[in-house]
Amino acid sequence: MKVAVAGGTGFVGVRLIETLHRLGDRLVLLTRDPAGGNGCSQRNFFPTVTVVGYDPDQRGDWQQALAGCDAVVNLAGPPSPTFPGQRPANRASAIAACVAPKS
- The tens-digit pLDDT sequence of the chain (103 residues) is 999 999 887 778 888 988 998 899 999 988 887 776 545 544 544 667 888 888 888 899 899 999 999 999 998 877 665 555 555 455 555 555 555 444 4
Handedness of CA 11, 13, 19, 21 (dihedral sign): negative
E-assigned strand segments in 7-98: 26-31, 49-53, 71-74
